[in-house]
Structure 1
Amino acid sequence: MHRILMSTVAVFALMAVSPAAAQSDDNMKKLQGMQSTGTSMDFQTIDQTGEYADQLRKNLDAIKLPDGFEISLFAVVPDARHIAVGPQGVATFVGTRKQTVWAITDRDRNRVADEVKQFAPSIDFSIPNGVCFSDDGFLFIAEQNRVLVLPAAEFFYESPDVAVGVVVDKGKLVPTAEESFNHTARVCRIGPDNKLYISLGQPYNVPPEEKSDLYKREGIGGIVRMERDGSGREVFATGVRNSVGMDFNPENGDLWFTDNQVDGMGDDIPPGELNRATAAGQNFGFPWYGGGNVRTNEYKNAEVPADVVAPQVEMDAHAADLGMTFYEGDSFPRKYRGGIFSAQHGSWNRTDPVGARVMFTSLNEDGTAKDTEVFAEGWLSDSGEYIGRPVDVATLKDGSLLVSDDLAGAIYRIAYTK
């Protein structure tokens, strides 16, 4: 019986190292050695015409915007999540919560995608949600449990093979025992200190107390930063439940980030958050607070750390605030310049759904939040049906705003035309 059991274990161990996994590892070694993998040049492209694209355009008739703004379909992009606009203006890259990163090209510059194709098909990605560029053209991809860097991505995107480096090895971003199906969509940014910042959502609604030391040490339920080569990793912020959007204020270098708050506490509590980190080591209150100043049931009797930083903005409960960006363009009216656009994905556990819109937050002269208002809405119908779920926002070179939608599988473009 013992031999049978051991034989069975051995069989499963061999099965675990599948031919596909071995091929993936082999491809990575070849790519890092600047060798061809033999991956077919015939890789996936997405049709930008036809009935589906036409229907997405019709759906946009329901979107309400301030006077002078127009919204259009920029690209059909399946499962579109976070957006990284190439600094050279050649291509825009879009992450997903599946296995694909997409490259969008607008060759004739009419602000409509001419081509959407799979990026780097010789690499097996796993939840490559987080895409971000450095100013000097390096594309970073934060997966569920690995971080890659792709130099000159805008140059190599036409080929199935790409120049690639490993910033954080597979299984090293978080301990493998903490990999989860929940809260695994990472986001990244390069800071003004030229370091790489990555958010690490914790996998629970509210984590058990026995996880607290591990999570604090690893930066799970927080934001970590490191050199661009992965060295010098440190925990930058703690007390963050699940941030899926962040950006640096170009005026003073403060890091702002959204945070999704605790589910199941009622329709109207706790609020979602827009936060500002002014220094390393700050604590933003989770899990003692479920959002804003609302205490969690699980930690209601626990002593709250004295240095907790309150959110700058409390958003509607369960609206699911995700991607955000500081607006640095100059084509929108002056009131929007230097402010924050953020996407609300929409609620899933609220009696009356809320969200599915783009918000705008202006700032005071001292760098704090001033006013928050709805900028674009209509993806949630009056009957409570989602016709789209915004995920991220990014600014094109011409100052127009891109909005991703992972329900419809699209990228929209909002432009000021008045």
Structure 2
Amino acid sequence: MIKKTAFALSCTTAFWLTAAFAQSAPDTGNLEKLGGFKTTGTPMMEPIQQTGENIEALKAIAAKIKVPAGFKVSLYAAVPDARHMAVGPQGVVTFVGTRKELMYSVTDRNKDRVADDVKVFAPSIKMAVPNGVCFSKDGHLYLAEQNRVLWFPAAEFFYEGPDVAAFAIVKQGELIPASDESYNHTARTCRVGPDGRLYITIGQPFNVPAADILPEFEKLGIGGVVSMKQDGSDRKIYSRGMRNPLGLDFNPKDKTLWVNDNQVDGMGDTIPPGEMNRVTGPDQNFGFPWYGGGKTRTVEYKDATVPEGVIFPEVEQDAHAADLGLSFYTGKQFPEKFRGGIFSTQHGSWNRVDPVGARVLFTSLKEDGTADKTEVFAEGWLNENGEYLGRPVDVQVLKDGSLLVSDDLAGAIWRISYGE
């Protein structure tokens, strides 16, 4: 397996890496070349325009978003289909995933808190749902696709050109069995934990799975969070009993893992609640599919025996609001009440008579590390006519302490700042 070492690799090491990953993905030709530090001949794609009518229209949306007094919402960048984000440890580049085939690098060159350069990252690699991006503290970028995990050493250094150092630490078809690939619940998210391991959410593809499928899903960690070393080895199941987990982050104070989970559809407008779960240790079960969300039993499993030790959500959210991104606020720009708390996003409902969501929430914590109060922090992407002006996906803290909010409907990254 690949070991993460200093990036100055000998020719012998480069040859070994190339051989190890020659069959790692459908586009093995380019991936093999990149692993051997060779060019692919791929041209750089044209940057995404950051001026013009579209930019002015996005700025007009930003002006309609409501935030507490002293805060300001502005347009940071236009990024097509923007989903989950990873802010580079050096503060040079923010990488943005999508649910399509491309991921992007976003650079604010003059540090005026508006992106100057947005372009496709690693265009020579054919990707499938490159949604989940995350960094290690020492600058290694990971990408969790639908069914593969890629490693980009020194991504903040190589992002300028079309060719980047890239390796598959989980080969195509080995994150989940190819037979379980679906068009539903395919977006993965990731974080590198305080223990140095890589944590990845894996949603299961059904609204409620049949009972005969559960043993396989349990064995593979489908419908939960898996962890592995940063070279892809030593895979373990960290948490179970989740339907479609997405945003996740570790509390810097007590190292607990918090995960948003999207709950069962078709039970009504107001049930079951969405979930924000607090994972305090390995192998905990959060109740799905016996519970559709919170303590609401599913119709399919209403008479089934519930496993012992099921843990109920730390925070119950509005039903069908599609809670996605989640990040602890580690910056210093915002007032004291927000420091150490959780910002999270609601993408907005697709199947409610009365739509709800499309906003950013804030959850404060008690002294013991449990949830205290959840309140609306930013809203207005869902207007009074029931029209979506945007759909927030992820929330990440920029190096200056401001907040970035991605939006895959508007194709934008919003910046929320304080006192500017």
Q: Is this a same-fold pair by TM over 0.5? A: yes
Given that 2:122 and 2:163 are in contact with CA atoms closer than 8 Å, whether structure 1 keeps it comes out as: yes
- The one-character-per-residue Cα deviations of 1:370-390 (angstroms, maximum 9, x if unpaired) are 000000000001110000000
Q: 1:368 to 1:30 in 2, by over 3 A?
A: same
Matched with 1:299 is: 301
Separation (CA, whole Å) in 2 of partners of 1:26 and 1:279: 41
SS at match of 2:393: strand
Separation (CA, whole Å) in 1 of partners of 2:45 and 2:147: 25
> How do residues 14-413 of structure 1 correspond to structure 2 at under 5 angstroms?
24-40=27-43, 42-413=44-415
Quote the offset at 1:244 in angstroms: 1.1
Residue 33 of structure 2 aligns to which amino acid in structure 1?
A: K
Q: Which runs of 4+ in 1 moved over 2 A?
A: 21-24
Quote the offset at 1:182 in angstroms: 0.3
Separation (CA, whole Å) in 2 of partners of 1:267 and 1:258: 19
Quote the offset at 1:23 in angstroms: 8.3
Quote the offset at 1:59 in angstroms: 1.3
Separation (CA, whole Å) in 2 of partners of 1:267 and 1:126: 32
Separation (CA, whole Å) in 2 of partners of 1:163 and 1:61: 40
Residue 133 of structure 1 aligns to which amino acid in structure 2?
A: F
Residue 111 of structure 2 aligns to which amino acid in structure 1?
A: R
Residue 48 of structure 2 aligns to which amino acid in structure 1?
A: I
Separation (CA, whole Å) in 2 of partners of 1:44 and 1:368: 46
Structure 2-normalised TM-score?
Answer: 0.93
Given that 2:289 and 2:301 are in contact with CA atoms closer than 8 Å, whether structure 1 keeps it comes out as: yes
Given that 2:101 and 2:127 are in contact with CA atoms closer than 8 Å, whether structure 1 keeps it comes out as: yes
Query: What RMSD, in angstroms, separates the aligned Cα atoms of the two structures?
Result: 1.1
Structure 1-normalised TM-score?
Answer: 0.94
Q: Percent identity?
A: 63
Given that 2:63 and 2:74 are in contact with CA atoms closer than 8 Å, whether structure 1 keeps it comes out as: no
What is the aligned length? Answer: 397
Residue 31 of structure 1 aligns to which amino acid in structure 2?
A: L
Which structure 1 segments of 5+ residues have no match? 1-20
Quote the offset at 1:44 in angstroms: 3.0
Which structure 2 segments of 5+ residues have no match? 1-23
SS at match of 2:387: coil
Separation (CA, whole Å) in 1 of partners of 2:73 and 2:419: 10
Q: Tell me whether 60-69 or 275-284 shows the greater mean CA deviation.
A: 60-69
Matched with 1:6 is: none
Q: 1:360 to 1:24 in 2, by over 3 A?
A: same
Separation (CA, whole Å) in 2 of partners of 1:81 and 1:46: 16
Separation (CA, whole Å) in 1 of partners of 2:309 and 2:418: 42
SS at match of 2:215: helix
Separation (CA, whole Å) in 2 of partners of 1:283 and 1:45: 44
Quote the offset at 1:45 in angstroms: 1.1
Quote the offset at 1:209 in angstroms: 0.6
Quote the offset at 1:61 in angstroms: 2.0
Residue 58 of structure 2 aligns to which amino acid in structure 1?
A: L
Residue 30 of structure 2 aligns to which amino acid in structure 1?
A: N
